[in-house]
């Protein structure tokens, strides 16, 4: 009887999970199929899971336009790599400093970091400061530095890991052996903290790969050369939106990528994440549960 109820639950759970999985994947499948659809079919019948005619034209266009898209790709990669590397090092170092229990002023410094999670100046002062004091508009710094480089939340995650998951004796014995602080950090703390660094690095990497807001704020038309893939996609969207409201003026319809090309560019944008993600899923799920401990 009881075994039966367990089996019933298993079946019901499997059905619900299949539905959820289907819902999660269906839009991406449509996106991919749409990018392989023949342009005239897409225009007359709309996007469909079963288009009347397939075509590679959208990808031909992408290959032909590779100068623009390739540059966007390169920018995405540069921004992601530099941002994640620098951010991760800074986060790990700051987390390590805060994890030292006897550090004078530790409470004040801790609060200094936590406070940034509570109170935020908001977009207006941040934007004005970055633009008029640091002149990041239309530079690559505008894509890397604002908001994404380091977050108090991730610093706290790393600090907690250094503090709770690495035995203090290990640090002490390294110091007794005469290792400098820098050495202790690189040879003891870092090798033992690969799980947390992988998790934090992954979160930062995805944040940079997906970021379009910094480009939206800090790149104007003059900075078009610095557009990442996300910015290019956003730009296409804005032009479509502009066309819809101002049908007569402004953007020329022929400047816009066609219905299928748009989808193909989007596919090019998500593909790397979809390919890499399953291998890192473990770390990502871990990050979510660790975040659960603290809000």
Partner 1 sequence: MTIKTKPQAAGQTSVKRGPLKTFLHWLPFYLMGLPGLIYLFINNYIPLAGLQIAFKNFSYSKGMWKSPWNNFKNFEFLFKSKDAFIMIRNTILYNVCWIILGMVLGVAAAILINEVIGKVKKKFYMTVILLPYLMSAVIIAYLVFAYLSPTSGLFTNMLKNLMGKAPDFYQETVWWPFILTFVNQWKGIGFGMILYLSSILGIDPSLYEAATLDGATRWQQHRKITIPLLKPTLIMLFILNLGQIFRSDFGLFYQVPMSQGALFPVTQTIDTYVYRALLKTNDVGMSSAASFIQSIVGFIFIVTANKIVSKVDKSSALF
Binding to partner 1 (CB under 8 A) within 64-103 occurs at 90-91, 93-94, 96-98, 100, 103
Question: Which runs of consecutive H residues, i.e. helices, occur in 122-193?
Answer: 123-128, 141-144, 152-164, 168-176, 181-184, 190-192
Question: Segment contacting partner 1 (CB under 8 A): 40-48, 66-74, 136-144, 165-173?
Answer: 40-48
- Residue choice 63, 111, 165, 170 for contact with partner 1 (CB under 8 A): 111
Nearer residue to partner 1 within complex by CB, 54 or 277: 277
**Cβ-defined contacts of 9-13 (< 8 Å, 24+):** none
Using DSSP's 3-state secondary structure scheme, residue 194 falls into helix
**Cross-strand bridge partners of residue 54:** 37
- Bridge partner list, 37: 54
Q: Which is nearer to partner 1, 45 or 138 (CB)?
A: 45
The answer to whether 248 contacts partner 1 (rule: CB under 8 A) is no
The interface with partner 1 within residues 270-289 (CB under 8 A) comprises 270, 273-274, 277-278, 281, 284-285, 288-289
Torsion angles phi and psi, residue 274, rounded to 5: -65, -30
Q: How far apart are CA 283 and CA 289, in angstroms?
A: 10
Judged by CB under 8 A, does residue 61 bind partner 1?
Answer: no
**Does the footprint of partner 1 cover residue 178 (CB under 8 A)?**
no
Question: Which CB, 60 or 238, lies closer to partner 1?
Answer: 238
User: Binding of partner 1 at residue 40 (CB under 8 A)?
Assistant: no
In angstroms, what is the C-alpha Rg of the chain? Answer: 24
Read off φ and ψ for residue 53, nearest 5 degrees: -145, 130
- 218, two tokens: 């800090």
Measured from the CB atom, is 196 or 263 closer to partner 1? Answer: 263
Residue closer to partner 1, measured from CB, 168 or 294: 294
Q: Is 195 in the site for partner 1 (CB under 8 A)?
A: no
Choose which of 24, 64, 253, 275 interacts with partner 1 (CB under 8 A). Answer: 24
Contacts of 154 (CB under 8 A, 6+ apart): 91, 200, 203, 204
Q: Which of 23, 64, 247, 275: binder of partner 1 (CB under 8 A)? A: 23
Distance separating alpha carbons of residues 139 and 135, to the nearest angstrom:
8
Contacts to partner 1 from residues 144-173, by CB under 8 A: 145-147, 149-150, 152, 155
């Amino acid at each position: 009887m009881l075994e039966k109820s367990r089996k019933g639950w298993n079946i019901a759970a499997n059905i619900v999970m299949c539905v959820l999985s289907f819902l999660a994947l269906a839009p991406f499948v449509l996106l991919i199929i749409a990018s392989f659809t023949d342009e005239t079919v897409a225009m007359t019948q709309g996007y469909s899971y079963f288009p009347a005619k397939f075509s590679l034209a959208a990808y031909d266009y992408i290959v032909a336009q590779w100068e623009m898209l390739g540059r966007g790709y390169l920018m995405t990669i540069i921004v992601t790599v530099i941002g994640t590397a620098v951010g991760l090092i800074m986060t790990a170092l700051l987390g390590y400093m805060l994890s030292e229990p006897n550090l004078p002023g530790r409470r004040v410094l801790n609060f200094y970091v936590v406070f940034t999670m509570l109170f935020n100046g908001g977009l207006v002062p941040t934007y004005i400061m970055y633009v008029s004091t640091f002149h990041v508009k239309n530079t690559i710094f505008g894509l890397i530095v604002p908001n994404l480089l380091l977050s108090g939340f991730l610093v706290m995650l790393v600090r907690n890991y250094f503090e709770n998951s690495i035995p203090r004796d290990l640090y002490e014995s390294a110091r007794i052996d005469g290792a400098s602080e820098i050495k202790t950090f690189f040879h003891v703390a870092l090798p033992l903290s690969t799980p947390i660094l992988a998790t934090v690095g992954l979160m930062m990497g995805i944040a940079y790969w997906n970021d379009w807001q910094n480009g939206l704020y800090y790149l104007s038309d003059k900075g078009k050369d610095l557009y990442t893939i996300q910015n290019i996609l956003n730009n296409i969207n804005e032009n479509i939106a502009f066309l819809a409201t101002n049908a007569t003026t402004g953007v020329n319809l022929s400047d816009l990528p066609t219905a299928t090309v748009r989808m193909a560019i989007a596919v090019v944008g998500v593909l790397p994440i979809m390919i890499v993600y399953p291998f890192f899923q473990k770390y990502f799920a871990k990050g979510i549960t660790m975040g659960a401990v603290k809000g």
